[in-house]
Amino acid sequence: MKNAQARTTYLKDYQPPAFTIESTQLRFDLHEDHASVESILLFRRNQREGEPTSDSLVLHGSHLLLVALQLDGKQLNQTDYLLDDESLTISGLSELLGRAPDHFELRCETRIEPQNNTALEGLYKSKKMFCTQCEAEGFRRITYYLDRPDVMSTFTTTIVADKEKYPVLLSNGNRIASGEVENDSSRHWVTWEDPFKKPSYLFALVAGDLVSMDDSFTTVSGRDISLQIFVEEKDLDKIDHAMTSLKNAMRWDEEVYGRKYDLDIFMIVAVDDFNMGAMENKGLNIFNTSCVLANPKTTTDFSFQRVEAVVAHEYFHNWSGNRVTCRDWFQLSLKEGFTVFRDSEFSADMGSRTVKRVEDVAFLKTVQFAEDAGPMAHSVRPDSYMEISNFYTVTIYEKGA
């Protein structure tokens, strides 16, 4: 059997989406051997004057079992859509709807297996905890969706799980409701609402047995923000520095950039098996523990500085990356390079500007210059890529900054 040939994505081929998603409602029912995901998506046509009208909807999806699909309340059968390993296509929308597809609702139920998701993309099981990583294209492993940065939607997420095994259920936004599952007191649910539109790569979910350090921050306008850092109980004595760094970053972004935090709560979760350093999901940052934990008895000065910089970097993304995001992945350095510049300026103000500049130049000369001189050399905004995961380089981050 031949391997599938890698496809190249070209900047020149960019096309705006035919449809946008106004709102996204998700319900996760988490079990030990699977997770059921129900989505309710409100679509609206994105046609621009002079463009041809699209009568087909093509959604991204990978490693999903489709259980049920409804279009404006009508149950679709297998003759109404086409499935392959990477997409779900519904053709003839006008005929199925009985009208022009200017706006419509799509309900979808999928079944996934987080415990077997070794790619650590989408929703996966990290030891005894459920966790997500959706940048760059992980959300398509959760449900069928327009998994691209230029499709932005409000999200309301309900998580249902065993109350004893997963007492903490987190997602993006503000917590608006919770309770026990009717007729099953062993399971509970929590609903989160993110009122600010975001692309799917910024979606986050965490379910586990965690403890938190709680604090607060008062914005320059007098608004109180709840702050929480969640860790395993064994690590609770190692997050004081991360909390201090977070509050310093929030204050600095107000004073230097005039950017105030915009939700009622900001949360960080530290995960041993998180496959990246950290991720700026809106209101719910997920970190590898190496980027959060610091104890004066065992941690070097360099590691303390790294925690401060990474916590600040992910917080700064709230505006440079989240509220103001990319049109496509070719613009990756506009959020990453700019945010590295912002966290570098923050670190310089927190410590020595001269020392920070020397460190930055030394890193460029030893690491980024070597990349520029080798086979991985590429421009800050290349014209094409074959695999988006290989795009997260020091050229994008450091040279971009």
Rg over alpha carbons for the chain, rounded to the nearest Å, is: 22
Q: Which residues contact 14 (CB under 8 A, 6 or more apart)?
A: 327, 328, 330
Share of the chain above pLDDT 90, in %: 94
Q: If we measure between CA atoms, which residue out of 336, 310, 307 comes closest to residue 321? A: 336
Nearest to 284 by CA among 305, 298, 263: 263
Residues 205-248: pLDDT tens digits? 999 999 999 999 999 999 999 999 999 999 999 999 999 999 99
385 exposure class (CB count in 10 Å sphere: 0-12, 13-18, 19+): middle
DSSP readout, 259-274? ----SSEEEEEEETT-
Angle at CA of residue 265, ends 264 and 269, nearest 5°: 165
- H or E, element range at 315: helix 301-316
Burial degree of 44 (CB within 10 A; 0-12, 13-18, 19+): middle
Confidence of residue 3 (pLDDT cuts 50, 70, 90): very low
Q: Produce one character per residue of 193-215: b if its CB has 16 or more CB atoms within 10 Å, e if not.
A: bbebbbbbbbbbbbbbebebbeb
* C-alpha to C-alpha distance for 80 and 234, rounded to whole angstroms: 52
Render pLDDT for 322-367 as a digit per residue (tens, 0 to 9). Answer: 999 999 999 999 999 999 999 999 999 999 999 999 999 999 999 9
**Nearest CA-CA partner of 107 in 141, 72, 136:** 72
Helix axes 240-257, 301-316, angle to 10 degrees: 50
Region 155-164: mean pLDDT is 98
Per residue in 60-80, pLDDT tens?
999 999 999 999 999 999 999
Q: What is the DSSP letter of 97?
A: H
Is 314 noted as a catalytic residue in this protein? yes
CB 40 within 8 A of CB 143: no
Selected catalytic residue, list 121, 137, 308, 314: 314
Question: Which helix (H) or strand (E) element contains residue 227?
Answer: strand 224-231
- Mean pLDDT computed over every residue of the chain: 96
Which residue type is seen at 286?
Answer: I
Number of C-beta neighbours around residue 331 at 10 A: 15
| Structural domains present in the chain | 18-206 (2.60.40.1730), 211-300 (3.30.2010.30), 329-399 (1.10.390.10)
| Residue 49 confidence class, pLDDT cut points 50, 70, 90 | low
Whether the per-residue pLDDT at 1 is higher than 50: the answer is no
Nearest Cα to 335, choosing from 315, 318, 320, 313? 320
Question: With a threshold of 0.95, does the pTM exceed it?
Answer: yes
Nearest CA-CA partner of 140 in 182, 90, 188, 199: 199
What span, in angstroms and rounded, lies between the C-alpha atoms of 241 and 98? 59
Rounded Cα distance between 90 and 98, Å, is 14
When pLDDT is averaged across residues 121-129 and rounded to a whole number, the result is 93
The predicted structure's pLDDT at residue 305 = 96
> Residue 226 has what pLDDT?
98
Q: What is the pLDDT of residue 50?
A: 64
